[in-house]
Structure 1
Amino acid sequence: MQRIGFVVFPGFQVMSLAAASVFEFANITLEKTAYRISHVSEQGGMIASSLGMAMQTEPFARKRFDTLLVCGGTGVPETTPGLVEFVRRSARHTRRVAAICTGAFILGEAGLLDGRRATTHWMLARELQQRLPKVKVEDDRIFIIDGDIWTSAGMSAGIDLALAMVEKDHGADVAHRVAQQLVVYHRRAGGQSQFSALLELEPKSDRIQSALSYARSHLQSELSVEELAAVANLSPRQFSRSFRAETGQSPAKAIEHLRVEAARLMMEQSRHPVEVVARETGFADRERMRRAFVRAFGQPPQAIRRLASAVA
């Protein structure tokens, strides 16, 4: 049995604890207590979250864990010497230490990220890098494993991180069944981007939203302006004008972003040849897809795949 400790502090974000459900359902799947969960804080007792909800915790004392997960907050967490020292001390005898979202700031203050690669929520990645110049902060990763230190992006990425832990402990089949029970996508690759092309576009009208949803479901099609305009029930000229006004991009550029996002996901999570990925995501050939990847990410598809394999 492995002891899992979730470190909370006043103002922690409750969604950090969603990762605990992964270990709970791993126990259910395995039909045994493979993981025992504890919630700990510096003084113990009731600890209020950023939402105002409070939870009962145990004091740090001299507790030892197989895995220590430091929760995040809605911003940079306020630390205490006791909290930082507990995390630092725990790392000496804990198999793996992890941070969910902005919990990375606590790991960094404890000196655990020096000389390592790490990630956090993209909105605070720059601040993390400024505070911790010895750390290589990567703001476009779902989670990163660097030796025995694990860090994840925004709160929901903690679920992906926990699923990856279960996969390493008990195999891919168990992690897959846990993901199915939680009704989540089976573990996003660690190297997957935090960003979403559809989220970045944020169209305001239902017509443009419908056209984008159609495009994402039909990436193998040509997706001409005429085709998308018909979905939106607009003339091609009206559609192009409305699309740019709502998204700040031309339809062609937006479609390329959707294709690149889908292709990157396939490169990270499958072993399909580049030619197959290019065909499935609507690029005419691998060279066109390569040029799109270089424009979007500064590196070709094969480099994205190697990086995903290295951090997953």
Structure 2
Amino acid sequence: MHRVAVLALDGVIPFELSIPSRIFCSATTDDGAPLYEVVTCTVDGGPVRTAADFSISVANDASVLATADTVVIPSPTWTGSLSPEAATALASVRPGTRMVSICLGAYVLAAAGLLNDRPATTHWMHSEEFQARFPRVRVNEDVLFVDDGDVLTSAGAAAGVDLCLHLVRRDHGSAVANVVARRCVVPPWRDGGQAQYVSRPVQEPATATTASAREWALTRLSAVVGLDEWAARAGMSRRTFTRRFRDEVGLSPGQWLTRQRVELARDLLETTELPVDAVAEQAGFGTAAAMRHHLRTAVGTSPLSYRRTFHAS
């Protein structure tokens, strides 16, 4: 069983501390056997102050980090430096262990040197200060999370849910991740990135949106979706549609459409026996070569390798 250790540091945000347990403990086999064990620890095993008006007690000290397959750092109250005790705790993590941060937990990973010369994200409100403090980190403030293989970082608060679901999907496939999402009553995948949550003037209620046009596109992923026809479905000019789409979703229409097609292709590879060429056609990529390119970009593997790993059989 995959062991996830969650390190609660001083001033931890309770909501973010609870995310790993809620998501990973909801992942089970078809017969109900758990796929993950989640253990929570503090540096010394004693109670830790949270960012709310209460403290928490845990059953473990940081020695459990050395037994973990994945270590998660939820947001602490950042003091500007890593305490010697926390540094010692992180140093005990075995090489090759997957390291994950939620929101300002990225500060901890960066202070430990784990994000040097790597891509990462954190809450958009802190990204500029984070980049100034850790100039060797390649900060991407627009995304909900960054997967750099053995080190993963998420944006603020609920983006930790997105990242943990992504890990379940990466470990066990979309079908298991979708079940977890339904059990937790959250979307299995959120479109766009942090840009859609940055403060901007509120639209008037009567202002048209691209939602209905996106729903229309989802019903015809296997066909050519022309931008002009797509914009017409929303009652907008091509230019207005493109601008409004990016404002609402955080992606261009083309980027969003590719993402939906990749998700459809993944589902077909996992749940059907269709040949790769047929999957590419049904997912709207046209050719297996095009699908292979986009799947490798999205998940880092080929269609056949993905099917071998995640097909139900």
TM-score scaled by length of structure 2: 0.69
Q: Distance in 2 between matches of 1:279 and 1:88?
A: 57
3-state DSSP of counterpart to 1:122? coil
Q: Distance in 2 between matches of 1:280 and 1:67?
A: 45
The one-letter amino acid of 1:167's match is: R
- Taking structure 1 as reference, are residues 201 and 61 closer, same or farther at Cα in structure 2, changes over 3 Å only? same
Does 1:113 find its partner at 2:115? Answer: yes
1:97 Cα deviation from its structure 2 partner: 0.5
The one-letter amino acid of 1:178's match is: V
Where does residue 193 of structure 1 map in the other structure?
Answer: 193
Where does residue 227 of structure 1 map in the other structure?
Answer: none
The one-letter amino acid of 2:121's match is: T
Aligned length: 256
- Taking structure 1 as reference, are residues 114 and 30 closer, same or farther at Cα in structure 2, changes over 3 Å only? farther
The one-letter amino acid of 1:211's match is: A
- Taking structure 1 as reference, are residues 47 and 30 closer, same or farther at Cα in structure 2, changes over 3 Å only? farther
Does 1:86 find its partner at 2:89? Answer: yes
Q: Distance in 1 between matches of 2:189 and 2:249?
A: 22
Where does residue 31 of structure 1 map in the other structure?
Answer: 32
Larger mean Cα displacement after TM superposition, 192-201 or 129-138: 192-201
- Could you report, residue by residue, the CA deviation over 1:126-162 in whole angstroms, capped at 9, with x for unpaired residues? 1110111111101111000012110000110000101
The one-letter amino acid of 1:65's match is: A
- Taking structure 1 as reference, are residues 149 and 274 closer, same or farther at Cα in structure 2, changes over 3 Å only? farther
- Taking structure 1 as reference, are residues 30 and 99 closer, same or farther at Cα in structure 2, changes over 3 Å only? farther
Counterpart mapping for 1:87-236 below 5 A: 87-90=90-93, 92-94=95-97, 96-188=98-190, 192-196=192-196, 200-202=200-202, 208=204, 210-212=205-207, 215-216=208-209, 220=213
- Taking structure 1 as reference, are residues 75 and 195 closer, same or farther at Cα in structure 2, changes over 3 Å only? farther
Is the Cα–Cα contact under 8 Å of residues 242 and 252 in structure 2 kept in the other structure? yes
Where does residue 68 of structure 2 map in the other structure?
Answer: 65
The one-letter amino acid of 2:209's match is: R
Where does residue 4 of structure 2 map in the other structure?
Answer: 4
The one-letter amino acid of 1:13's match is: I
1:81 Cα deviation from its structure 2 partner: 1.6
Larger mean Cα displacement after TM superposition, 50-59 or 37-46: 50-59
1:61 Cα deviation from its structure 2 partner: 2.2
Q: Distance in 2 between matches of 1:91 and 1:306?
A: 37
3-state DSSP of counterpart to 1:144? strand
1:56 Cα deviation from its structure 2 partner: 2.1
- Taking structure 1 as reference, are residues 174 and 9 closer, same or farther at Cα in structure 2, changes over 3 Å only? same
Is the Cα–Cα contact under 8 Å of residues 2 and 35 in structure 1 kept in the other structure? yes
1:90 Cα deviation from its structure 2 partner: 1.4
- Taking structure 1 as reference, are residues 295 and 72 closer, same or farther at Cα in structure 2, changes over 3 Å only? closer
- Could you report, residue by residue, the CA deviation over 1:149-200 in whole angstroms, capped at 9, with x for unpaired residues? 10000110000101011111111011011111111111225xx221337962
Q: Distance in 2 between matches of 1:311 and 1:127?
A: 29
Where does residue 304 of structure 2 map in the other structure?
Answer: none
- Could you report, residue by residue, the CA deviation over 1:43-81 in whole angstroms, capped at 9, with x for unpaired residues? 112212100232222111263201111011366676312
Q: Distance in 2 between matches of 1:217 and 1:289?
A: 7
1:25 Cα deviation from its structure 2 partner: 1.0
Q: Distance in 1 between matches of 2:92 and 2:209?
A: 48
- Could you report, residue by residue, the CA deviation over 1:72-126 in whole angstroms, capped at 9, with x for unpaired residues? 13666763122123224416241x1100000000000111101110000000001
TM-score scaled by length of structure 1: 0.69
3-state DSSP of counterpart to 1:27? coil
Is the Cα–Cα contact under 8 Å of residues 22 and 163 in structure 1 kept in the other structure? yes
Identity %: 28
